[in-house]
Amino acid sequence: MQTGCIDMPDTRSSQTASELLFHTVAPVGLVDRILPPPGLRLTNDLVFKALFSRHLHLLSDLINAVLQWPEPITVVQVLNPDILPQHINGKRIVMDILVRDATEAVFIIEMQVRREEPWPERNVYYLARGLSEQLQAGQSYDGLRPVIGISLLAHDLFPDHPQQALWRLALRDEQTPAICFKEALQLHIMELPKAERFGDLPPDLRAWITCLLHNLDEAAMNQITHPPVQEALQHLRTLSADEKLRWAALQHDIAMLDERTALSRATRKGEQAGLEQGRQVALATLNELLLRKFSSIPAWAQDRISTADLNTIQHWTLNILDADRIEAVFGPAA
């Protein structure tokens, strides 16, 4: 189930995706016998966490493919391994993976399938929290370890920059960028669809990108020769046999789609309310100017004004400037 691929009909605009799925498609009493779709998408952040939090050597290989550092890192501990049941339906829960490597540096790895407006602010907050939570009262700052965020995006975050897909952000001086506190906080952003279009990627990175975006495409997966990715696909097949996890992944997708549907509906209502408010303001302005220039507004003019849309009202308001009689404001048809 691809998030964002269901176009909600106008006649059902008050229903959520989950209501449409379970109350429209499924007959009453048969919901428990519906099977979730076969296979698990790696762009589902719940599936992503279920796989990589259980196989740290694969997570290490993925991180090293993205970072391409001279010295590879080795993940030794997952700091948030649990996926609690109440998380599944939570629309704002982020299924990130918080890990520590052999040098005790902290990594926050996230798979994100869709755009979110407060995303930059949220990531800065997570990184800062990763620093602040390392120290207890009275401890020295010498004990702080670097916090490195890695965000894998299944969408383009910066569409105006088509030639760059990997972004490495750190604390730098504005006038002298070479001065950088990159050991403290770092954020590495990989725009997966954009990166996939590049031809000069390291083989291990290309293999992981293909796997993350197309793990359900058997033909594409058969072309991958990178051993860690091949192993990840084997583990995914095992995970796909776990019906509870498949249901959890489906519920998580539905919850995200419900949120997107609700946001879209609220936006449409807001736009409609804004247009009506603008029309009322323009209407009041037109009536006031007509009264000032012509002293009264005939009944026929009031009838036309009451049914006019915003653009027409604005056009009539401009006509007042040159009109020597009220009929000229409304054109020959008046």
The two structure tokens encoding residue 232: 């990840």
Structural domain includes residue 265: no
pLDDT in tens, 198-251: 988 999 999 999 999 999 999 999 999 999 999 999 999 998 888 887 777 777
Quick one: 88 and 236 in the same domain? yes
How many angstroms separate the CA atoms of 281 and 271, rounded?
15
Quick one: 193 and 47 in the same domain? yes
**Contacts of 324 by beta carbon, 8 Å cutoff, 6+ apart:** none
> Which of 241, 265, 290 is the endpoint of a domain?
241
pLDDT band at 90 (very low <50, low <70, confident <90, very high): very low
The reported pLDDT for the residue numbered 72 is 97
The reported pLDDT for the residue numbered 266 is 54
Highest-pLDDT range among 183-192, 265-274, 318-327: 183-192
Helix (H) or strand (E) holding 108: strand 106-112
How many angstroms separate the CA atoms of 328 and 167, rounded?
60
Quick one: 230 and 106 in the same domain? yes
User: 59 or 34: which carries more pLDDT confidence?
Assistant: 59
> In sequence order, what are the beta bridge partners of 97?
109
Quick one: 235 and 289 in the same domain? no
Q: Each residue of 5-34: b (16+ CB within 10 Å) or e?
A: eeebeeeeeebbbbebbeeeeeeeeeeeee
Quick one: 112 and 158 in the same domain? yes
How many angstroms separate the CA atoms of 102 and 153, rounded?
26
pLDDT at residue 275 above 50? Answer: yes
Quick one: 186 and 120 in the same domain? yes
Q: Please state, as a whole number, how many other Cβ atoms lie within 10 Å of the Cβ of residue 77.
A: 13
Quick one: 196 and 316 in the same domain? no
pLDDT at residue 264 above 70? Answer: no
The reported pLDDT for the residue numbered 121 is 87
Structural domain includes residue 250: no
The reported pLDDT for the residue numbered 38 is 57
pLDDT in tens, 122-148: 888 889 888 888 887 677 888 789 999
pLDDT band at 259 (very low <50, low <70, confident <90, very high): low
The reported pLDDT for the residue numbered 323 is 81
The reported pLDDT for the residue numbered 208 is 98
pLDDT band at 53 (very low <50, low <70, confident <90, very high): very high
> Which of 188, 220, 241 is the endpoint of a domain?
241
Backbone angles phi, psi at 17, to 5 degrees: -60, -40
How many angstroms separate the CA atoms of 107 and 123, rounded?
12
pLDDT at residue 192 above 50? Answer: yes
Three-state DSSP class for 39? coil
Quick one: 172 and 302 in the same domain? no
Domain containing 75 equals 40-241
Q: Please state, as a whole number, how many other Cβ atoms lie within 10 Å of the Cβ of residue 157.
A: 17
Average pLDDT across the chain, whole number: 80
Percent of the chain surpassing pLDDT 90:
38
How many angstroms separate the CA atoms of 321 and 324, rounded?
9
Quick one: 224 and 281 in the same domain? no
The total number of structural domains that make up the chain: 2
Based on C-alpha coordinates, what's the Rg of the chain?
Answer: 28
- Threshold 0.75, pTM exceeds: no
How many angstroms separate the CA atoms of 226 and 224, rounded?
6
The two structure tokens encoding residue 299: 């009944």
Structural domain includes residue 263: no
Structural domain includes residue 261: no
pLDDT at residue 110 above 90? Answer: yes
Structural domain includes residue 2: no
Nearest in space to 141 (alpha carbons), one of 152, 154, 150, 132: 132
Quick one: 211 and 283 in the same domain? no
Contact 41, 216 (CB under 8 A): yes
Structural domain includes residue 166: yes
Structural domain includes residue 264: no
> Which of 218, 241, 264 is the endpoint of a domain?
241
Structural domain includes residue 6: no
How many angstroms separate the CA atoms of 326 and 54, rounded?
78
pLDDT band at 31 (very low <50, low <70, confident <90, very high): very low
pLDDT band at 27 (very low <50, low <70, confident <90, very high): very low
Quick one: 89 and 220 in the same domain? yes
User: Sheet harboring 185-191: ordered strands across?
Assistant: 75-78, 97-101, 106-112, 147-153, 185-191, 166-170
Quick one: 160 and 296 in the same domain? no
pLDDT, mean of residues 189-202: 94
